[in-house]
Amino acid sequence: MSHTAHIPSHRKPRQRASKSALRAGVAGGVLSTIAVAGAAGPAQAEPVTQTIEMPTITSGFSTAVAASAQATQQVALDLETQADEDAAAEKAAKTAKKAHAEAVRKAEAKKKAEAAAKAKAEAEAEERAERASRTSERTTLSASSGSSGSSDSGSSASAPSSSNVSGSAASIVAFAKAQVGDAYVSGGTGPNAWDCSGLTQAAYRTAGIDLPRVSQSQSTFGTQVSLDNLQPGDILYWGSAGSAYHVAIYIGGGEFVGAQNSSTGTVQRSMDYDRPTGAVRVL
């Protein structure tokens, strides 16, 4: 055994081959990285001058906006048109309703006028028939009285007929009878339309006598006489003396002439048709 065997050796132990290879690889990698970085450094420092073109969307967006605006305008136009149509329809409906109401009113007025004309015609026909009947009766009575002689003289004295009247009474009676068939009009004083007191006033004026204008005053103008003692020309009245509402002229034979009402006009009728309240004698 060597005398130096127990002395430690100062020589470094031999590294394993694998470790050496690992270190060599690491060192090579570092150097490679530095080389790459060195090579890439100048390229990164250069400014980017390339322009990237983005896709254009303006034209499509404008078209959509324009279409939307057009649609909105069309809706507004449609609403305005509809409003105009509704207003026109409402106006037409009101016009039609008014025209219908006017047509109904005219039809009703026509119907009333026709009914009034028919009633008037019937009343006139009835009145004519009544006058014809009275004329026939008077003719018969006159013929009978002419053939009966003096036996009827007392009756004629108690109820004198208009044919036996003379003087002022005859003038009054003749005027009244001549107006039979004339119309009745409130406030009428002739010559073809009368009210009751207008007729009596006009009849008495032919005899030179001025009567008051109204029935109330005429019913007290003169002497009150009994209805059983009448003479032609006496004024008959209906209602109380001083507040009479109607007057007529007694013409003899139990009959009177008076302007009755708008339906019958001026008529000649029997006192039994409408019995008066009283009478006054002016002559």
Q: Which CATH superfamily is 158-281 part of?
A: endopeptidase domain like (from Nostoc punctiforme) (3.90.1720.10)
Q: What is the pLDDT of residue 112?
A: 73
Query: So what's the pLDDT on residue 62?
Result: 73
Mean pLDDT of all residues in 26-39: 49
87-94: average pLDDT: 89
Q: Say what the pLDDT of residue 13 is.
A: 53
Helix, strand, coil percentages for the chain (3-state, nearest 5): 55, 15, 30
The two counts, helices (H) then strands (E), for the chain are 6, 8
Q: Is the pLDDT higher at 115 or at 212?
A: 212
Cα separation, 203 vs 236, whole angstroms: 14
Q: Which residues of 116-143 are buried (b: 16+ CB within 10 A; e: fewer)?
A: eeeeeeebeeebeebeeeeeeeeeeeee
pLDDT digits 0-9 by tens, 140-173? 444 444 444 333 333 333 455 555 666 899 999 9
Give the mean pLDDT of the chain: 76
Among 54-68, 119-133, 206-220, 223-237, the minimum mean pLDDT is found in 119-133
Looking at residue 131, its pLDDT comes to: 55
Better pLDDT: 90 or 27:
90
High-pLDDT (> 90) share of the chain, %: 40
Does the pLDDT at position 281 exceed 80? yes
Q: Is the pTM of this model over 0.85?
A: no
Spell out the domain ranges in the chain.
Answer: 70-146, 158-281
CA contacts within 13 A on the Cβ side of 79: 6
Name the DSSP class of 209. Answer: -
Q: Identify the pLDDT of residue 141.
A: 43
- Which of 85-99, 174-188, 209-223 has the lowest average pLDDT? 85-99
246 pLDDT higher than 50: yes
Name the region of 29 (left: φ>0; alpha: ψ -120 to 50; beta: rest): alpha
Position 72 scores a pLDDT of 87
CA–chain centroid gap for 282, Å, is: 55
Distance CA 195, CA 245 (A): 11
**Percentage of the chain lying above the pLDDT 70 cut:** 60
Give pLDDT, residue 43.
Answer: 47
